Chain A
Amino acid sequence: MDGESDDDSIFDNENVDSGNVSSDGDDFAMEIESNISKERQSEPEDYPFEVLTTDQIVQHMIDSIREVTAVVEIPGTIARILLNHFKWDKEKLMERYYDDDQDSFFREAHVINPFNKPINITKPKLKISGTEECEICFQFFQPNLMTGLKCGHKFCISCWGEYLTTKIMEEGLGQSIACAAHGCDILVDDVTVMNLVPDARVKLKYQHLITNSFVECNRLLRWCPSADCTYAIKVMHVESRPVVCKCGHIFCFECGENWHDPVQCRLLKKWMKKCADDSETSTWIAANTKECPKCNVTIEKDGGCNHMICKNQNCKHDFCWVCLGSWQPHGSSWYNCNRYDEDEARAARDAQEKMRFSLARYLHYYNRYMNHMQSLRFENKLYAAIKAKMEEMQQHNMSWIEVQFLKKAVDILCQCRQTLMYTYVFAYYLRKNNQSLIFEDNQRDLETATEKLSEYLERDITSENLADIKQKVQDKYRYCEKRRNVLLVHVHEGYEKDCWDYTE
């Protein structure tokens, strides 16, 4: 199979950029490992995953192509385009290959059926003593300087180079560059690109683009979402599980967000959207303003008096803020405005009440969620403070081992904060039932313990009382850890037994 050797050559001449910004050697690398084992312990079964470098991703891509070319006898270059077309789902490719009409199979993927006889485009071309004209630069070349894809459209080598360079550098196209002929949708394979592009910088960009599209359209791969990280995670099957990148970032494989146990991806996404968009602004308007019953202009009450006079100069309607009825019957006895309970006014008040309630409810959860997120950010500063303290202790006749409990405590504090943060998202969507009451108790316990631990670490440790407080801190973080586990196990059991009801 000629395709195979081609595949390897694409990436090995050039120095594939694996310019990973690795943050190994960072002081907490070891601790991260222990975090992993903690997370794993709390999970009932294992969720295997691999962290791949850019080089390994390329190798993985080449392996996938080989697996296809080993079964289906097509060149590797075409296999790559086909695989991309099928989002790197080998099984689907094979299935369609054997089931479908072959011509339409290849046509849909924008490649020429390699089993067909080569097409001879019989376009009349001006020939001057055996030369051919390039339709781009209008110059004449010896036939060996003209090249093209299996579709038969030929252009000179330098115009091809210029064309591909423009597509790659200006338009950022990788896998989807089509033949330069007008109306031809046959895709340019990667070997052709690498042969025809003269500039190493452009080749590198092209490799980036195809590696990127390989990862992006492969369900079992996901780029680590943390900034400047070039690793990707590979899993055996897609699931909402925590994965840990080599850079230390822990995230959910399914949605790519920070690991968000106990809330599920679906609700988290909804929540983040809710927080990000303006839906809550409109809830605020609905809850804190009323509309003039006559001209419908929006009014915010900014004083105590309930006798409203619409400021819309064309309206100037007199009405009562409380019952939204006309002001006239109120006269001097304002407190009797309950009497004017027309159905409409009552409905308006009910709707208002509902809005206020829902806003208050949202803000309750939102404030607690944001508060833990904020604290979590501060805890990163705490790491630095604790590190300084640990160094100081070590100068006071304490061994390295003896002071490690401090960092362990901060680790657990951070885990608890993160879990707590997401419990508020979960709770926001939760409908009240017996299990939700237990959940709220667990949440309360964890929160109280976490705050206590935070207090110890932030305020109560001095070099004098270190020996005394060590026991206290250790007890507290073990307790926190236990409570966190209890809460998560309870929620997971709830998922399994289907006992969570949601409000939406």
Chain B
Amino acid sequence: MGFSKFKVEINYVLILVWRRLQKELMSLIKEPPPGVQVDTESVGQNLTQWKINIAGVAGTLYEGENFQLLFKFNNKYPFDSPEVTFVGPNIPVHPHVYSNGHICLSILTEDWTPALSVQSVCLSICSMLSSCREKKRPPDNTLYVKTCNKNPKKTKWWYHGFVTHSCDDE
């Protein structure tokens, strides 16, 4: 008896996650913000992985370039943040983006709140790219890419410091 109740609860959680992702997906497809486009073919039945294409904004250093973001969601979404990385042939050269696609952005880990969404993450990443003044890799890129965990959420990011994964603008 107890077992079946447990199972029902799990399903209930999954349904909530699925429902929220479904709504986010629909609104991104229907009213995408400029330069953001969901690769609908990449979105599987269970909605746990999406690819999103991002176009470099005109008038910025990334004008004319196209990038792809991979979003992975676990069943704690949206209470737990999505795992977001750049994938594909073109990883933006940016002081907060490592050459393996990992992004140093506080809303992806400690500043994440469930009131954020895929759309707001995309917009933050776009504005991070747009505000860039010099195209270069993070100073510790080589070491980080060699030693980091595959999952960027396992990295202890130092958003304001200069140690290990310093991501400060000068």
Contacts and interface: CB of A to CB of B under 8 A. Distances in A.
Interface stretch (B86-94, B111-119, B125-133, B143-151): B111-119
A182 B76 contact: no
Interface stretch (A134-142, A206-214, A346-354, A494-502): A134-142
A400 B78 CA distance: 68
Contacts of A162: 79, 114
Nearest to B116: A182
Interface size class of A (residues with CB under 8 A): 10 to 19
Interface stretch (B16-24, B95-103, B153-161): B16-24
B104 to A, nearest CB: 18
Nearest to A171: B110
Contact of A136 (B80, B107, B115, B120): B115
A268 to B, nearest CB: 30
B20 A155 contact: no
Given A153-B115, A180-B114, A182-B113, A137 B120 contact: no
Interface string B2-41: 0000000000000010011001100000000000000000
Contacts of A153: 115
Interface in A158-206: 159, 162-163, 166, 170, 180-182
B114 A163 contact: yes
Given A153-B115, A181-B113, A136 B20 contact: yes
B19 A181 contact: no
Contacts of B78: 136
B79 A163 contact: yes
A137 B79 CA distance: 10
A138 B115 contact: no
Contacts of A170: 80
A135 B116 CA distance: 8
B113 A137 contact: no
Contacts of B80: 166, 170
A95 to B, nearest CB: 31
B21 to A, nearest CB: 10
A170 B80 CA distance: 10
A166 B24 CA distance: 22
B115 A180 contact: yes
B116 A138 contact: no
Given A163-B79, A166-B76, A166-B79, A136 B19 contact: no
A135 B120 CA distance: 12
Interface centre among A136, A163, A166 (most CB of B within 10 A): A136
Nearest to B112: A182
Contact of B113 (A138, A139, A180): A180
Interface in B33-72: none
Given A163-B114, A180-B115, A182-B120, A138 B79 contact: no
Contact of A138 (B19, B76, B120): B19
Contacts of B120: 182
B20 A138 contact: yes
B114 A136 contact: yes
B77 to A, nearest CB: 10
A136 B113 CA distance: 9
A141 to B, nearest CB: 14
A155 B80 CA distance: 16
B74 to A, nearest CB: 12
B80 to A, nearest CB: 7
Contacts of A159: 114
Interface centre among B20, B78, B79, B115 (most CB of A within 10 A): B115
Nearest to B107: A182
Given A166-B80, A182-B120, A138 B114 contact: no
B115 A155 contact: yes
Interface string A145-164: 00000000101000100110
A149 to B, nearest CB: 13
Contact of B16 (A135, A137, A163, A181): A137
A182 B124 CA distance: 12
A181 B78 CA distance: 12
Contacts of A138: 19-20, 23-24
Top 3 A-B residue pairs of the complex, sorted by shortest distance between their CB atoms? A166-B79, A138-B23, A136-B114
21 contacts: A135-B115, A136-B20, A136-B78, A136-B115, A137-B19, A137-B20, A138-B19, A138-B20, A139-B19, A155-B114, A162-B79, A163-B79, A163-B114, A166-B79, A170-B80, A180-B113, A180-B114, A181-B113, A181-B115, A182-B111, A182-B116
Interface of B: 16, 19-20, 23-24, 76, 78-80, 107, 111, 113-116, 120
Given A138-B19, A180-B114, 10 more contacts: A136-B78, A136-B115, A137-B20, A138-B23, A162-B114, A166-B79, A166-B80, A181-B113, A182-B111, A182-B116
